[in-house]
Amino acid sequence: MSLAATPSRTNAPRLDGVAIAAGLATLICAAPAIAVLALALTQNAHAEFGAALIANGAIGTMTLVLAGGAGAVVFGAVAAWLVTLCNFPGRSIFEWALAIPLAAPSYILAYAYASMTWAGGSPIPVNGVWGAAFIYAVGLYPYVYLAARAAFASQSACALEAARMLGASPLRVFWRVALPLARPGIAAGAALACMEIAADYGAAQHFGLTTLSTAVFRAWYAHGEPGVALQISGVLLVAAMLFLFIERSARGRASYAGGSSRWRPLPRYTLNVAASMLAVGFCVALILFGALLPLLWLARLAVLHADVQDIARPFMNSIVFSTIGTIVTLALAAAIAVAARRASSWGKTPLFAAGMGYAAPGAVIALGALSLFGLAREAGWVSGLGAGLSLAALFWTYAARFSAAGVGPIDAGLARLSKGLDASARTLGAGSWRRFAAIDLPIAAPSLAAAALILFVEILKELPATLILRPFNFDTLAIKAYSYASDERLLDAAAPSLLVFLAGLAPIIILARNIERGRAGAHS
Amino acid sequence: MSSVQLTNVRRSYGKTLVLNDVSFTAPEGQVVALLGASGSGKSTILRLIAGLEPVDAGEIRIGGERVSGAGVAVATEARRVGMVFQDYSLFPHLTVGANVAFGLDKLGRAERDEMALKWLDRVGLKHRAGSYPHELSGGEQQRVALARALAPKPRAILLDEPFSGLDAGLRAELRDTTLATLAEARTTTLFVTHDAEDALQAADRLVILKAGRVLQEAAPREAYDHPASLDAAAALGPINVFKGAVNNGVLDTPFGTVQASHLANGSTAVAAVRAEALTLTPGAGAQVTAVRPHGAHDLVRIEAQGLAWRALTPARAPLGDTVSVQIQPTGAFAFSA
């Protein structure tokens, strides 16, 4: 029950501060994406050139989405089925370790595998379209794995037991019962993976592929056609929103696919020795190719070639950028999350607005923020577009791009808050701000800390928006890795790549802990 | 301490009418039980009094001040009404002491802490001031919630199913402690319950509700002895029902007669006979078809002329296969059908 919904005569203002702050936060996060959509439709750009670039980019993106996405779905779904419904040695370790590949952004994997291929150290040559598809498949399968694992784990034990008692073999139970029941979860994970593939700039660029993401840069920088860049961004944004829509609606359905509400441990198949070895081999291979192999390779190169002087500044810059970006984004995310909980009349609008930015590629949001500043300059509200404004646009982009990544954990933290607590505080005389400060905030504090860490790392890993908006000669670790890799100086790219990779491991540890804690029977 | 008065209060959720023309008064300093089955609207009444929801029509006054009504909705935090929620809703991140002190923020720190300890002492939990809610038992949590609600000296206190979710032994003990604390605080109290025993034993007045309407508002003894309707009679314990015509001022049931002199001869009436108003003695007239232990009593199923009734008799009374039945007039009522 929100204050705003209760008409008041005395001390409850109709529009309370928390609601206004949330409204502003939503607007700030949604504005760049909305600007891109609006501007893309009104551009008088070089039509022929634009159409050709969009067509080529769309074919490239679609190819990668299909090939990389298919790989991620197969790897993720099979891995999830193995750890939730089968028993084999190391299963409980694989359960969280299979999420590790999420740590590395695709461009870092691309640099690692490219240098491995170049040095003859890669077991398979990784280059071109298939190289990129391989990297997306082994790097992004955890999105499918996590969603599918949740879907398998929430399945009714009764349905699976009933199928077994009707004489169905494990494979038949998988095909006829478990897989259909988990389909919405797998679809949600697949949509996320495809969203990431469509948004990727660094890996596709490194392998010299034309995708919608690389086309944005090409139109803008190589051909000086910002109008075309905006049009391509519009197409990308629509694609991203389509994936987001698929993910949301699939996730909505997934929550109803659980069946029985009564919890019982899932009946697991105990695999025989040969099958166990296959299962262990499969899981080990995924972790090896998705994380361990590139990580060790980068570590080896970094140890041999690292120039501490060279990466000290980018390291500091990364810390500064990520810290400021985290503070700004976290404040907006907290406002959005609290508003979504309190103001039932708003529905999920703020969450969707934040989700729109998260789905969009960094370059697209950067273009949107930049365009809005351009419009403000034309209107005479701001002058010039110097380093200060460019930095403001960058942090705005971070906030718009990542607020949803912060809203998620904060919202989950607030979900633990029973509605009675808010009502209790009100009957004890606490107004809107006091309830926010004394109840909401402290209870959500652990989730806030988790959100801060996730945001810090997301911003640290961010490449395309930082590439567009950073002040001149102001390199972060991601930029440093990118520029060395672009110059084919893969040995020099190893150290900054390694640091980005290692930073990415931090939120994975939190995720792993949550998986451990969330395991049925771990707590009563 | 103030009276709480509801006048013609209506409330709907969408098209569902939850409260229909509800009027009653909780007199100053008294304990009033809102008794009804789930869905009767009793919890909604508490939420309306607390200001957590607006009224659609009618008005609510606390201590004479109009707090809800046409054009008026005093915010919850300004009503000075304490509430103990069914799940207690203790703040999990605050100690027991800090929970009780939460509503005392207008006092200085020292005074606030002293007051919080005083209230914890009253509910016998002073020694747990430094504990966190999850370290307490259910009964202890309920007492902390009560102390927290009473500490800011509310004009009235609302308790939502305060004794549900506790085991039987604890329940009686907690009911006594709560009543003693409330009596000491002399705060006007409204509590919601679906348990007739809780209502009869704890309240000074009963408001019996069904489907959003007030069936009867009376003192417990009066409500028990003189129910206003069949439903009101049923709300305070198991009853047996028989429908028939009034003949010479009485209603003849297969088990005996029920006084109906206030009803017209020849009219159709319904007799309601409390299970505890049936006296069974060895003899003839009715057949005993089942005997089930019911604590200090036995619940006996008797049949006559194809009609089955339930009687509460002293446990292990030697009854035999057939019994003679007597209806005690104090527990038998006739209503026009």
Q: Please report the DSSP string for B15-83 in residue order.
A: TEEEEEEEEEEE-TT-EEEEE--TTSSHHHHHHHHHTSS--SEEEEEETTEEEEETTEE--GGGT-EEE
Do the bridges between strand B72-73 and strand B31-35 make them parallel or antiparallel, or are there none, so unpaired? unpaired
Q: What is the pLDDT of residue B252?
A: 93
E strands along A113-189, which residues? none
Q: Average of pLDDT values for B135-160?
A: 91
Q: Average of pLDDT values for B231-244?
A: 94
**Which chain A residues touch B81 with a CB distance below 8 Å?**
427
Q: What is the pLDDT of residue A524?
A: 30
Interface check for B15 against chain A (CB to CB < 8 A): the answer is: no
CB contact under 8 A, B89 and A12: no
Q: What is the pLDDT of residue A392?
A: 87
Name the residue among B75, B93, B152 with its Cβ closest to that of A12.
Answer: B75
Verdict on whether the full-model pTM lies above 0.90: no
**Which chain B residues touch A442 with a CB distance below 8 Å?**
93
Q: What is the pLDDT of residue B88?
A: 87
Interface check for B72 against chain A (CB to CB < 8 A): the answer is: yes
Name the residue among B71, B74, B102 with its Cβ closest to that of A428.
Answer: B102
Q: What is the pLDDT of residue A344?
A: 53
Interface check for A168 against chain B (CB to CB < 8 A): the answer is: no
Assigned token pair, A94:
């694989």
CB B255 within 8 A of CB B241: no
- From the number of C-beta atoms within 10 Å of its C-beta (0-12, 13-18, 19+), residue A405 rates as buried
Return d(Cα B156, Cα B64) in angstroms, integer: 12
Whole-number CA gyration radius for chain B: 23
CB contact under 8 A, B102 and A426: no
Return d(Cα B315, Cα B291) in angstroms, integer: 10
Count of C-beta atoms within a 10 Å radius of residue A139: 31
Q: Best interface-test mutation with A: which of B72, B91, B94, B158 has the largest number of A CBs within 10 A? A: B91
Q: Report the residue of chain A nearest B84, measured CA to CA.
A: A424
Q: Collect all residues with Cβ–Cβ distance below 8 Å to A78 and sequence separation of at least 6.
A: A282
Q: What is the pLDDT of residue A385?
A: 59
Interface check for A523 against chain B (CB to CB < 8 A): the answer is: no
Return d(Cα A293, Cα B315) in angstroms, integer: 78
Q: Collect all residues with Cβ–Cβ distance below 8 Å to A8 and sequence separation of at least 6.
A: A14, B73, B74, B75
**Which chain B residues touch A342 with a CB distance below 8 Å?**
none
| Sign of CA pseudo-dihedral A103, A108, A110, A114 | negative
Element (H or E) spanning B279, and its range?
strand B278-294
Q: What is the pLDDT of residue B8?
A: 96
Query: How close, in Å, is residue B73 to chain A by CA atoms?
Result: 5
CB contact under 8 A, B75 and A427: no
User: Residue B232: pLDDT band by 50, 70, 90 thresholds?
Assistant: very high
Query: How close, in Å, is residue A405 to chain B by CA atoms?
Result: 25
Q: What is the pLDDT of residue A490?
A: 82
Q: Average of pLDDT values for B51-73?
A: 93
CB pairs under 8 A between A and B: 93
Interface of B with A in 33-52 (CB under 8 A): 50-52
CB contact under 8 A, B85 and A423: yes
CB contact under 8 A, B83 and A427: yes
Interface check for B132 against chain A (CB to CB < 8 A): the answer is: no
Name the residue among B73, B83, B90 with its Cβ closest to that of A7.
Answer: B73
Plot region of A344 (φ>0 → left; ψ -120 to 50 → alpha; else → beta): alpha
CB contact under 8 A, B78 and A425: no
Query: How close, in Å, is residue B182 to chain A by CA atoms?
Result: 17
Q: Average of pLDDT values for B117-134?
A: 92
Q: Best interface-test mutation with B: which of A427, A432, A434 has the largest number of B CBs within 10 A? A: A427
Query: How close, in Å, is residue B302 to chain A by CA atoms?
Result: 40
Query: How close, in Å, is residue B325 to chain A by CA atoms?
Result: 47
Q: What CA–CA distances, in Å, run from B244 to A389, B254, B271? A: 89, 11, 8
**Which chain B residues touch A423 with a CB distance below 8 Å?**
50, 52, 76, 83, 85, 89
* Selection from B270, B273, B269 nearest residue B240 by Cα: B273
Q: What is the pLDDT of residue A168?
A: 73
ipTM of the complex: 0.80
Q: What angle do CA A343, A346, A351 make, to 5 degrees?
A: 95
Q: Which H, E and C letters describe A403-432, residue by residue? A: HHHHHHHHHHHHHCCCHHHHHHHHHCCCCH
Q: Best interface-test mutation with A: which of B66, B77, B115, B132 has the largest number of A CBs within 10 A? A: B77
Name the residue among B51, B78, B87 with its Cβ closest to that of A418.
Answer: B87
Place of tokens 């001040």: B65
In three-state secondary structure terms, A510 is helix
Query: How close, in Å, is residue B78 to chain A by CA atoms?
Result: 6
> Can you list the alpha helix ranges (DSSP code H) found in A42-127?
47-85, 91-97, 106-118
Assigned token pair, B282:
């060895």
CB contact under 8 A, A423 and B50: yes
**Which chain A residues touch B76 with a CB distance below 8 Å?**
6, 12, 423, 426-427
Q: What is the pLDDT of residue A259?
A: 44
| Model pLDDT for residues B32-61, shown as the tens digit of each residue | 999 999 889 999 999 999 998 999 999 999
Predicted confidence pLDDT, tens digits, chain A (524 residues): 333 333 333 333 345 676 777 788 888 888 898 888 888 888 776 677 778 888 899 999 999 999 999 999 999 999 998 988 888 999 888 988 898 898 889 988 898 898 888 887 777 777 788 999 999 999 999 988 988 887 777 666 666 667 667 767 777 777 777 788 788 888 888 888 888 898 889 899 889 899 998 998 888 888 888 888 888 888 888 888 888 788 777 766 655 444 444 445 566 778 888 889 999 999 999 999 999 999 998 898 888 887 788 888 888 888 888 999 999 999 888 888 877 776 655 556 777 777 777 778 888 888 888 888 888 888 777 776 577 778 888 999 999 988 888 887 787 777 767 778 888 999 999 988 888 889 888 887 877 887 888 888 888 888 888 988 888 778 888 988 888 888 888 888 888 888 888 888 877 877 777 666 654 444 33
Place of tokens 């990466």: A311
Q: What is the pLDDT of residue A260?
A: 43
Q: Best interface-test mutation with A: which of B13, B49, B93 has the largest number of A CBs within 10 A? A: B93
User: Residue B121: pLDDT band by 50, 70, 90 thresholds?
Assistant: very high
CB A475 within 8 A of CB A287: no
Q: What is the pLDDT of residue A8?
A: 38
Q: What is the pLDDT of residue A384?
A: 64
Name the residue among A10, A421, A443 with its Cβ closest to that of B75.
Answer: A10
